């Protein structure tokens, strides 16, 4: 009864005890944090039977990462402040566009373009949403930085897919 009173008293709508809530929250945050690696692994695994697309994916995922670094150095937009202190990571001092969002949505889009699988798209979008929320929750990026990162990732994956489809795939099948 004390637990119910505590929930009502602080206005929380949580139905889980504190320990389970923390475990679930931490797990979802970890998925969001490691989403670029998780989706990279999933995409490699799914495309393993389609070598031309696998090669195109690996090539363009590297270029996508380089593109992100170039854009960050060109735009030079700081990360959001956390308690008045600018967050400056040693290797990624700038936040626009979000590398996590760009990498995550690059992989989601490329995988969907190759497989046309709605199942993988739904799984990818769930992981992508966790990434966006995790990066915003911990004030690593603004909503704008996350949105632009996602848009750049999707756009670059379309370009990478089209170039792979038009230039690599026909040669490998002949």
Task: Encode pLDDT of 68-127 as tens digits.
Answer: 988 988 888 777 765 544 555 544 567 788 888 999 999 999 999 999 999 999 999 999
Q: What was the pLDDT predicted at 168?
A: 76
Residue 81's Cβ-side half-sphere holds a number of Cα atoms within 13 Å equal to 3
Q: Which one has a higher pLDDT value, 91 or 24? A: 24
Residue 20 lies in a domain: no
Strand ranges (DSSP E) for 89-165?
Answer: none
Tokens of 80: 């959001």
Strand ranges (DSSP E) for 79-174?
Answer: 81-82, 85-86
> What range defines the domain where residue 125 resides?
25-173
Q: What was the pLDDT predicted at 80?
A: 79
Residue 144 lies in a domain: yes
How many domains does the chain divide into? Answer: 1
Q: What was the pLDDT predicted at 174?
A: 47
The distance of Cα 164 from the centroid of its chain, to the nearest Å, equals 22
Residue 103 lies in a domain: yes
Residue 1 lies in a domain: no
- Average pLDDT score over the chain: 81
Residue 59 lies in a domain: yes
Residue 16 lies in a domain: no
């Amino acid at each position: 009864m004390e637990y119910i009173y505590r929930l009502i008293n602080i206005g929380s709508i949580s139905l889980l005890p504190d320990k389970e809530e923390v475990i679930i929250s931490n797990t979802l945050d970890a998925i969001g944090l490691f989403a670029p690696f998780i989706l990279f692994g999933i995409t490699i695994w799914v495309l393993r039977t389609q070598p031309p697309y696998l090669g195109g994916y690996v090539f363009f995922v590297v270029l996508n990462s380089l593109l992100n670094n170039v854009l960050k150095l060109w735009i030079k937009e700081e990360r959001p402040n956390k308690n008045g202190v600018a967050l400056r990571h040693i290797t990624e001092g700038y936040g626009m566009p979000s590398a996590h969002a760009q990498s995550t949505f690059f992989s989601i889009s490329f995988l969907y373009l190759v497989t046309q699988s709605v199942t993988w798209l739904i799984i990818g979008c769930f992981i992508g949403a966790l990434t966006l929320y995790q990066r915003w929750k911990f004030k690593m990026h603004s909503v704008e930085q996350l949105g632009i990162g996602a848009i750049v990732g999707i756009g670059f994956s379309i370009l990478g897919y089209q170039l792979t489809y038009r230039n690599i795939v026909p040669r490998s099948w002949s």
